Structure formats: structure tokens, C-alpha cells
Structure 1
Amino acid sequence: MESAAVSSKIERRKRGKALREKLPRTSQSEWKPRSKSQDIIKLLEGSDADRIPALIPVKYQRMAVSPFTFFRGAAILQARDLANASVSGIMVQACGDCHLANFGGFASPERVLVFDINDFDETFPGPWEWDIKRLGASLILAARDRGFSKTVAHQAAREAAASYRERMSEFAEMKVLDAWYARISIDDLKDHFRNNQDVSARLSRKQKQARSQNSEAVVPKLTAAGNGGRKIKDNPPVIYHFEEYAENVEKGHAKFIEQYKKSLAPEKRQLLGCYQLQDSAIKVVGVGSVGTRCFLALLLADENDPLFLQVKEARRSVLESPRGKSRYVHQGLRVVEGQRLMQGVSDIFLGWARSKEHDFYIRQFRDMKVSVEIDTFRPTTLVAYATVCGWALARAHAKAGDAAMISGYLGSTDQFDSALAQYAEAYADQAERDFETFQKAIRSGRLSTEPEKGAGLEFLL
């Protein structure tokens, strides 16, 4: 049997470069404002179907804070816009919701603090352009939200693209296994920003904070001991229980956990077996995820040996065509596979399960997880952070795609950087127009930001 011919990095770079004839890099700047007749509110309402009804107003409440928070909660809009845009044709595993707040630090299995993409609810195979364009637009909106100048906003988007392009070129020259094992540690970031006092100080504070972000540290804050053992404390509307469903919940959890165990590797199954479920409660998270079925589960190996797991509903990705049957038989599996493929390292408890007609994925809660406080950024901080996000995205796409082809298309000049910044500014303008439409829908009563007490609070199991 003859083996397939090996395609060299040089050949793949040439193929990537040839794709510029199909789509010149300057064309990546294009965004034509969509027709005003398109009903974006209907699209938002459709994407919120089957969420917990009483929590949908909470989502809209969080989205209504600013154009940036609206953008975070309305991933469906840009996903549909990007689906109609021209692309080079190089596919990767895409994050699907690659805005700057979906990056952060968390623990590797070796207990090293790493920086990476940390949200994969919308992950799906797609063109590499989709992620970098969403990142660019989010940087412009964040800069505007902070009141930074147009120059700073433009520079942030441009530097993210430049970092992505330059790092992709580096990953393209690596051996496959070296690129696969690559990760961005806190020490890598400290070395990279050793001459930037502001960023260095922030990194040191985050490293210290991460040490206190674990199950044992959050137990006093999130739980209380009582006659029935340790329980998660209610803090409505963020965390709350449904005592009237206790019997059904207990039965559902037993079956659910058995499914979850089967999704883990045998040694992780044995590790999980050291813990016993004590309690669970609904946990409202994020902006775009509000209304999805998400809860915290408290497990104990001993009175002073806790494990918190986050169980989060996995729905059809906004990147997948809404028509027809999904290509994934289990949306939780989609999230887990995408996350493992894109991240440098992933949580050892990452798995999936199904409850009734709902799919879920499971991971540790606050396992040294830290995120940036965008509302404290200085202009130089935002630009510096943009370069790190571009770096992390390039690493993820290099692992989950053809780095040589992407690098061949991008080239060594700043043509793509300029084009991406122009697109990001134009799309940020579109997002602001959409935000105005969203606010009008709230003022008219079409959308509500006031939760209806007691409505639709069915338990997720």
C-alpha cells in the first residue's frame, strides 16, 4: 500500500499565499451595513428559545448596560453576518465567541497558571477569520466603553491582528508535536512584559489571586454547614435551590453523574469516585449564557476536602446553520471536543452528560481561574492585552488547523493587520446601531428586563 505524499510547510505556505487571489487581504476589511429591514430582535428571541423563561429578562438586563455587553450577549448576530462574508477557505476549529472577555488564566493539570481561551460554548469548525474578526470588534467596543481615543481603539485591533499573524508564522515553523504541546504560562507573560510595569504588576496580582481560586478557598463563601451537612448558600437571583423538586433532583443526579463518569478517562473516573455529591444549585453566569441551565455541584471526599463542579447546558452553536439536524448528536460532546482541540491544556474533570432533552458539559469551578478587569484598563493595558489575545488565538488555531497555510495567506507585511482594524471599526459601528435597536425594543415593551417572579423556574433536571 502506497503512503500519501507529505506536503511540506513550504508547499502549504504557497497554497495559503495563492488564496490571496481568491480573497485579497485588503478585502478582509469589508463590512457592508446590513439592511435595516432585518429584524435582529426576532433573531435574538429565536436564539433565546428554550432558555429558562424567568431568566431571559436578566440576560437582557445585563446586555443593556452598554454596546460592549450587548455585543457579548448577542453572538448570534455576528455569527449570521460572518456566515455571509467572504473567506479565504482555510478551516480551523473556531471558538465561535472569541471576544476579549473570553480569555483568561486557569490551572493546568500540573497546577501551573496558564493563559488561554476559556469559553467554548459556541465552538464549531469554521474559517479562521471568524474568530479574529470577533476579537477585533470586541476590542474596539471595549476601547469605546472605556472612553479611549479612536487611535487607541484602532491600535488595539491592529496589534491583535499583528500578534496573531506573527505568532502564526512562528507556530507554522514548529514541529507538529511542539505546536500541539505549546502553551502560554504566567512566566511566559511575565517575560514578555518584563519592561511594562503596569502589566507586570497586574500579572503578579493575578498570580496571587489565582492561588486562592480553588474549591477549598470558596467553600466558606459559597456554602454553610447545617444539620443536613454542608450546603450551597442561596443568593438569588444568582444562586438558588428548588427544594420542591428535591426527590426528582436526587434521582436525576444519580443517573446524570453515571453518564458524566463514562465521558472521563478511566483514571479520572476513579478520581471522581473519591467524592460524593452533597448539594447542587442553579448558578446564573456571564452575559450570553444567562437563561441556560447551569448549576454548581458541591462534592466532598471529606469534610475539609471539597470539589466544586460547574454543570453548564450546551446548546446548538451559533456558528452552525439553524436549519436541519445538528451534525453533533450531543452538544456537550461538541464543546468538550472543541475545547480539548483548541486549548493548550484542559481541565482534568472536563466531560459531558445528558439530562432529559438537555445536553451539558462539566468542568471544575474556579480552578485557579482569573480574568482581567477591563474596566480598570489604561489605554496601554488594552493594547498589551490585545497582543496576548492574538497570541493565544494563533496558538489555538495552529493546534486546530493548518498554521502554514494560514501564515502563507497572512504573509509578513501588515496588510492584514490594517484590514482587520478597519473591519473591526466598521463592525463595532454596526454593533452600536444594533444596540440602539435593542434599547428601543426594551423601551417599547417588546423585550423585558424585569424578571417575572415564579415564572418558568423549572429545575433543569
Structure 2
Amino acid sequence: MNKNTKAKKRRPAPEDRQAVLTEQRRRKMARSPHAYVRGNTERFYEWVIESNGDALPHGPAVWICGDCHTGNLGPIANAEGKVEIQIRDLDQTVIGNPVHDLVRLGLSLATAARGSSLSGLNVVRMIEALAAGYESAFSDQDIEARRPEPVHVTMKEAIRRSWHHLARERIEDLHPSIPLGKRFWPLTKEERGEIEMLFRKKEIASLATCLKDRNESGDVVVLDAAYWVKGCSSLGRTRYAVLLDVDGGVVEGDDLCLIDIKEGVKAAAPRYKDVAMPRDNALRVIEGARHLSPFLGERMRAARLLDRGVVIRELLPQDMKLEIERLDKDDAMHVAHYLAAVVGKSHARQMDATTRKGWQAELRRNRSKTIDAPLWLWSSIVQLVSSHEAGYLEHCRRYATGT
């Protein structure tokens, strides 16, 4: 069987996409407990609602990430080229309890720590650092924390990246086309036509012209598009990669633009009652991004495509996720403190001074002599690690037997 024949076998017909994507998601989640945690937001909120929801404090009503694991944080560039560590995936965002973001981040870090064979004592210290980092965001003093080494390395790489890095990583090709294969599947004529019509709209085309180095009045042309097989928890949703040319000429990097179109779906994260949120899921994601991750929010648009709400954004070379599959014992506390502070700042910027002070006081309550963190935070993470480890093993059994 030649290479082209093998590639075609990896490209299912549109009507068979869902079954193939479901299988890929199951396989990804079977790789490790940390991958299972990252890919199973629903199980986390089943625990929140059914097992321990009443034991958690009810924080101020703010926009939360809703799926705050380590892979959903990382360097993000704004339209002016400035780069910061912010939340980078807002599919699950709702106006809800900020505690849910803190606990989910703690679960993600604890799972990574256990996968790194760190001792239980290391995990205790890491959760203490998590609590301290989050609380620090609500202080009146704006203290910029030093980036821990794993975050610093990713940040340095993000700042020096160019279009060439993005093309090799995302589309595996420097030429102005999207190569079909395992990651990219062909579109139907209807999909291609709808995408081309979408970028004829000025408000959508402006995504490609809003960067400081691009011509704001430049013409935007769709060079290529494909169905994108990407992510883990998002596998199975409608998703497209679109390659645009801005102002003609196809100059390397400057005039090429890679767009991610992702279906907006109902959030698993519970929202607070009696709060106003957009009913359209794509608009909800955009609004949450503007509050939690301003660098990302300003570079996103919501639209309708094939009768579905979709979120559209340009992928920049500087946009990266933190790859923290394993933790060194010397870095674990620093990483936990730093990432919790990032999440805390995204919550704090939505609160007035009085609300911040009250929430900080609540976070400092319910301590013991054995751990310098709220007992509800520690017990929640312990329960969740146990629950997800059992769920992971059961998932592997079902995946192995095909049931």
C-alpha cells in the first residue's frame, strides 16, 4: 500500500467523521491519568454537583474558565504583539463559582505530580502553594511573580516564534495550502462554500487585518480550508482550519493567516442562577474570553456556520499551551503558585475592591495545623484524584475490550 493510499484511508467521509473522532478521543484519554483528566470535564462536574458541591464555598459571580487544567493556560499574544500567560481555552466559560477553576487546576497539577512519582508530601506543599498563589491575586499589592522554569522556557520559545514555526507545528507545511492527511480532512462543497462566504463579511475578515503589521483595508482571500482533527475534549465538535491571504502576494508569514473555527457547544460547567449570559454558545465563549483573557478575547469573533454557532480566531505563532505532563519536585510548588495567581488575576479583575477583600478573607478561613490551605480545597482534590484514577482505569478497560 503506497503513502497516498494510506493517507486517504485516514480521511473518513463526512458522514463517518463522528465515529472516527469518538474513537480517537477514547484513545487519547487512555494514554495517562493526566490525559484522562484533561479530556473529561463532564466527570469533574458530575463530582461537583453530586458529591461535594455543597462543601465548596460559593464565591462571587464572575466569568470562570470552566475547564481550568494546565493545558488550557499558556502564552497568548494580543493584536499589538505583547505576550502574557493567560487562559487560552474558554469553551466551558460561564458566570459561575470561581472555586471550580481553582479545584480543577489543583486536580490537574496533582495528577501531573502523581504521574511524575512525586511524594504525597510534595503534593501537600504544592496544594499549599496553589492556595497562596490564588489568594495573592486578591491583594491590593500588584506583585509580579517570577516565572517558574517550565513556564519561563515556554514563554521564551513563544516570544521568538515566527510564521515558520506555526506552519510546521500546525499544518506541517510552509507552502500556502493545508496538506490533507491524519490531522486535516477534506471538506464537502457545502462546507467550503460556507467558509468562503463567511470571510466575505467585513466583521469576520477584520480578524485577519487587525494585527498592527497588517493593512487594515487589505483584501482577505481564502486560500485553503480543511476539517481539523484537533484537541481531546473538543474531538467530535465541528472544527475547521482556514488559510487566508491578506492583501495578496502571499508574503511569508506577513500575509498568511491561519484561522481556527470551532463549534460553540453547551458548557458542562454549572452557571450561577439569575445571571445574564448570552444564550448563543459562541457569543458566551467570546464574552467569557473578553473578561478572563483580554489578549485572546480581542482576537475572537462569533458567527453562524452551517446553522451552528462557531467561534473564530486567528492562531498566532506566540499562542502556545503549557506542556506540564510531568513535574520536578523543585518546580512543582513554583508552578502551582504561579498558575494559580494567573487564574486568580483573571477572576480578580472582574471584582471591585470590597468584593476582592471579602473573597480573600473567605479563602483564608478553614485552615488546620496540618496544611496551610483551605481544608475544602485539599479534601476536594484528594477525592477527585481518587475518583479520576478509578475512572481512568475503567476507561482503559472499556477501551481495551471495545465496550
Normalising to structure 2: TM-score of the pair?
0.80
Distance 1:409 1:361 in 2: 36
Distance 1:51 1:388 in 2: 39
Matches for 1:319-398 after TM superposition, within 5 Å: 319-320=269-270, 328-346=278-296, 348-375=298-325, 377-398=327-348
CA contact (8 A) 1:103 1:117 kept: yes
Distance 2:316 2:379 in 1: 36
The equivalent residue for 1:177 is none
Q: CA deviation at 1:341?
A: 0.7
CA contact (8 A) 1:107 1:368 kept: yes
CA contact (8 A) 1:264 1:351 kept: no
Q: CA deviation at 1:409?
A: 1.3
Specify the SS of the correspondent of 2:181.
Answer: coil
Q: Which amino acid aligns with 1:59?
A: R
The equivalent residue for 1:33 is none
The equivalent residue for 2:44 is 78
1:327–1:52 distance in 2 versus 1, CA, 3 Å = farther
Q: CA deviation at 1:335?
A: 0.6
Q: Which amino acid aligns with 2:30?
A: A
The equivalent residue for 2:78 is 108
CA contact (8 A) 1:95 1:122 kept: yes
Q: 2:394 aligns with which of 412, 416, 437?
A: 437
Q: CA deviation at 1:225?
A: 8.0
The equivalent residue for 2:11 is none
| TM-superposition CA deviations, 1:117-154 (whole Å, max 9, x none) | 11111001111111111111111111111111111122
Identity between Structure 1 and Structure 2 (%): 20
The equivalent residue for 1:233 is 179
1:334–1:264 distance in 2 versus 1, CA, 3 Å = farther
Specify the SS of the correspondent of 2:90.
Answer: coil
Q: 1:254 aligns with which of 184, 196, 214?
A: 196
Matches for 1:48-127 after TM superposition, within 5 Å: 52-84=18-50, 85-86=53-54, 87-89=56-58, 90-127=60-97
| TM-superposition CA deviations, 1:232-264 (whole Å, max 9, x none) | 11231x22223xx2x323321133335682696
Distance 2:345 2:337 in 1: 12
CA contact (8 A) 1:216 1:307 kept: no
Specify the SS of the correspondent of 1:277.
Answer: strand
Distance 2:399 2:208 in 1: 50
Distance 1:298 1:280 in 2: 6
Q: Which amino acid aligns with 2:49?
A: A
The equivalent residue for 2:239 is 294
Q: Which amino acid aligns with 2:394?
A: T
Q: Aligned pair 1:210/2:176, yes or no?
A: no
1:277–1:82 distance in 2 versus 1, CA, 3 Å = same
How many residues align structurally? Answer: 364
The equivalent residue for 2:250 is 303
| TM-superposition CA deviations, 1:308-328 (whole Å, max 9, x none) | 11111111001248xxxx964
Q: Aligned pair 1:144/2:110, yes or no?
A: no
Distance 2:309 2:324 in 1: 32
Q: Which amino acid aligns with 1:58?
A: Q
Matches for 1:165-204 after TM superposition, within 5 Å: 165-168=135-138, 170=139, 173=140, 188=144, 192-193=146-147, 199-200=148-149, 202=150
Q: Aligned pair 1:425/2:395, yes or no?
A: no
1:71–1:300 distance in 2 versus 1, CA, 3 Å = same
Distance 1:126 1:394 in 2: 14
Specify the SS of the correspondent of 1:346.
Answer: helix
Q: Which amino acid aligns with 1:132?
A: L
Q: Which amino acid aligns with 2:232?
A: V
Specify the SS of the correspondent of 2:177.
Answer: strand
Q: Which moved more, 1:388-397 or 1:276-285?
A: 276-285
| TM-superposition CA deviations, 1:148-196 (whole Å, max 9, x none) | 111112222221111111222x1xx37xxxxxxx8x9xxx55xx25xxx
Normalising to structure 1: TM-score of the pair?
0.71
Distance 2:174 2:163 in 1: 15
Distance 1:144 1:204 in 2: 23
Distance 2:157 2:400 in 1: 40
Q: CA deviation at 1:375?
A: 3.7
CA contact (8 A) 1:163 1:391 kept: yes
Listed as ranges, the gaps of 5+ residues in structure 1 are 1-49, 175-181, 194-198, 447-461
Q: Which amino acid aligns with 2:399?
A: I
Specify the SS of the correspondent of 1:233.
Answer: coil
Q: Which amino acid aligns with 2:288?
A: G
Distance 1:440 1:79 in 2: 22
Distance 2:173 2:321 in 1: 26
| TM-superposition CA deviations, 1:31-52 (whole Å, max 9, x none) | xxxxxxxxxxxxxxxxxxx982
Q: Aligned pair 1:134/2:104, yes or no?
A: yes
Q: CA deviation at 1:104?
A: 0.7
Q: CA deviation at 1:68?
A: 1.4
Q: Which amino acid aligns with 1:405?
A: G
| TM-superposition CA deviations, 1:327-378 (whole Å, max 9, x none) | 6432111111001111243254311111123221111214402333324531
1:142–1:116 distance in 2 versus 1, CA, 3 Å = same
CA contact (8 A) 1:264 1:350 kept: no
Distance 2:312 2:137 in 1: 31
Distance 2:205 2:104 in 1: 31
1:424–1:267 distance in 2 versus 1, CA, 3 Å = same
